[in-house]
Amino acid sequence: MHDPPGGAVYAPADEVDFVVVGAGAAGGVMARELSRAGFRVVVLEQGPYLRAADFHHDELGVTQLAALTNDFRSQPNTFRASESDVAKKKEAVKYGRAVGGGSVHFTGNYWRFHEIDFIERSKKGPVEGADFADWPLKYAELEPYYTKVEWEVGVSGLAGANPFDPPRSRGYPLPPLPIKSSGVLAELAAKKMGWHAYPAPMAIISKPYRGRAACVGCGFCETFGCEINAKSSTLATMIPEAEKTGRCEVRPNSYVRRVETNAAGRATGVTYFDARRREILQRAKAVVVCANGAESPRLLLMSETTRFPNGLANSSGYVGRNLMFNGGAISGGVFEHEINGYKGAVVSRVIQDLFEIDPKVGLAGGGGFDFRHDLTPILFALGGLPTDAPKWGPEYKKMLQEYFTRSVYVFAHATSLPVATNSITLDPTLKDAWGLPAIRVTFTEHPNDVKLNEYMQDRAMELLDAAGARKSWRFSRDPWFPQVHLLGTCRMGNDPKTSVVDRHHRAHDVRNLFVVDGSNFVTSGRGQPTMTIQALAFRAADHAARLAKRGELS
């Protein structure tokens, strides 16, 4: 059915140079960079190895099969609002579970973080109730890697179009995707408000690039895998390039249960369940965990030993702590004429005038807006209409007819502050289908986030008004579950007492263990984390390769 996997084949007993846990946005980059640098790499991915030919325009199928994401039925989790509550079974976190990870089904919004995101704590001061800190690196240090992401994976955009963009060393490799009616409305609204709409930077190629065909605007991006590989997932980009080196093996259906360490406290490999649930130990000189902000801390916590009784690399107690999601709010508007947001890549214009909110408003953080209509027909029928619309009957039918092609949703994406008690931990009783402890999520929004989301939604309503919406409405601002931007749970920092990994993603406690994904984020940014996850991964790979070449990992 599939092309046979390319790349190398290693025996588990072979001690490879690196074993990478997770073949997603970060793991794909690590695999490609490390194998290109000459190292022998095994990538273990819990999900299947699907190809473009496996993806279809099938809304119900994607929903039913849970083919691209973790499946709550076999991987349940629990949720509680605070540490004093008993967690109950509830689907709280969702992530990509396939070779390519979340980058297979994402929308492809590739915002860079701005300079402020890395130094907000020292610039703006502390926030009560938040474990707010600066990053151990600044934007300027990451900038070359942002540029690298844009060129290596293929990002479409227009340099210089956003007046709030941070400095960049090079333009985009590809021009922006075509503007849509929703984008024209964003421009109109921004102009009226004295703001600036600019072409959305998207990880979807607008022209043929490096052997891949350009986007044909079918519109099935969000939640779907791209049928022509125009979406710049690691499945379409990094993974095949890693395999092409002949030094990288991608092993799908491999569910890692433990990072193994020896008496000296060094990582020796990982144990995983294969597709037939046999336990296999893959030996490696160094371990790179890229399993996402929920699974990476879970794996470290499951890897406890007598030497590391609180979980691996957790002498600080920061493994699992400071879980962040990215806040936000959605508002809807209906217009006189057809918008047809379902055609073409989802987002074509972004507004970042509130990236840093006027200090007089008294809110920490900030955010950005985009205009889109992202709901495929079934979900639109179930939740796309104004919140006060009838749910059935002649009027409901009439509204479906009128609104599907004429609605726009303004998405506000915003800061989520780190709160020490928001966390990923192991559920004390619930197990997954492999008998491993389920993820337990503890989360309550910081009061600043609640106010910020409200503020952003008020502005979104003004945008809809300025765009000429005939009617506009607010969707609930309560955090939605399951959440998908899983951030902050293996914080990076210079101080081993308050962080899990150093500024190069190397665990403070285990010198041949790296954690590279959204879990390293010190702050949440304003939304759209994947671009930053990949920039960090390119940088981490450079450093890990340097260390390995100097013999510091073996």
Partner 1 sequence: MSEGDIARRQFLQESASAITAVWLTAALGGAATLSTLSCAPADHKSKWQTFTDAEGEDVAAIASLIIPSDVTPGAREAGVIDFIDRSLSSFAREQRPLFATGLADLERRVAAAHPRAKSFARLDASEQTAILHQLEQSKSEFFTAMLAATAAGMFANPEYGGNRNKIGWKLIGFDDRFYWEEPFGYYDRDEGTRA
Binders of partner 1 among residues 180 to 199 (CB under 8 A) are: 180-185
Q: Does 393 bind partner 1 (CB under 8 A)?
A: yes
**Cβ-Cβ contacts under 8 Å for 550 (sequence gap 6 or more):** none
Yes or no: say if 456 and 310 are a contact pair by the CB < 8 Å rule: no
Q: Does 330 bind partner 1 (CB under 8 A)?
A: yes
- Residue 362 or residue 390: which is nearer to partner 1 going by CB? 390
- Which H or E element spans position 515? strand 513-515
The only residue of 329, 364, 419, 424 in contact with partner 1, by rule CB under 8 A: 329
- Residue 164 or residue 342: which is nearer to partner 1 going by CB? 342
Residue type, 384: G
Q: Does 70 bind partner 1 (CB under 8 A)?
A: no
Q: Does 465 bind partner 1 (CB under 8 A)?
A: no
**Residues 93-132: x where in contact with partner 1 by CB under 8 A, - otherwise, as a string:** -x-------x--xxxxx-----------------------
The count of residues interacting with partner 1 (CB under 8 A) is: 84
**Residues 347-386: x where in contact with partner 1 by CB under 8 A, - otherwise, as a string:** ---------------------------xx-xxxxxxx---
Interatomic CA distance for residues 418 and 221, integer angstroms: 30
Q: Longest C-alpha distance within the chain, in Å?
A: 72
Q: Does 472 bind partner 1 (CB under 8 A)?
A: no
Minimum distance from residue 241 beta carbon to partner 1 (Å): 23
Yes or no: say if 427 and 374 are a contact pair by the CB < 8 Å rule: no
Q: Does 27 bind partner 1 (CB under 8 A)?
A: no
The structure tokens listed for 393 are: 């009957």
CA 165 to chain centre: 21
Q: Does 339 bind partner 1 (CB under 8 A)?
A: yes
Handedness of CA 376, 377, 381, 386 (dihedral sign): positive
Going along 248-358, which residue ranges are E strands?
Answer: 248-251, 255-261, 267-273, 279-289, 327-334, 349-351
Q: Does 338 bind partner 1 (CB under 8 A)?
A: yes
Interatomic CA distance for residues 109 and 160, integer angstroms: 17
Provide the 8-state DSSP code for 492: B
The structure tokens listed for 9 are: 């084949």
* Sole window of 27-35, 158-166, 221-229, 500-508 interacting with partner 1 (rule: CB under 8 A): 221-229
The only residue of 340, 421, 444, 498 in contact with partner 1, by rule CB under 8 A: 340
* Sole window of 244-252, 483-491, 495-503, 505-513 interacting with partner 1 (rule: CB under 8 A): 483-491
* Sole window of 45-53, 113-121, 286-294, 394-402 interacting with partner 1 (rule: CB under 8 A): 394-402
Q: Does 388 bind partner 1 (CB under 8 A)?
A: no
SS3 percent helix, strand, coil of the chain, rounded to 5, is 25, 20, 55
Interatomic CA distance for residues 63 and 67, integer angstroms: 8
The structure tokens listed for 224 are: 């779907």
- Residue 482 or residue 493: which is nearer to partner 1 going by CB? 482
The only residue of 281, 396, 437, 447 in contact with partner 1, by rule CB under 8 A: 396
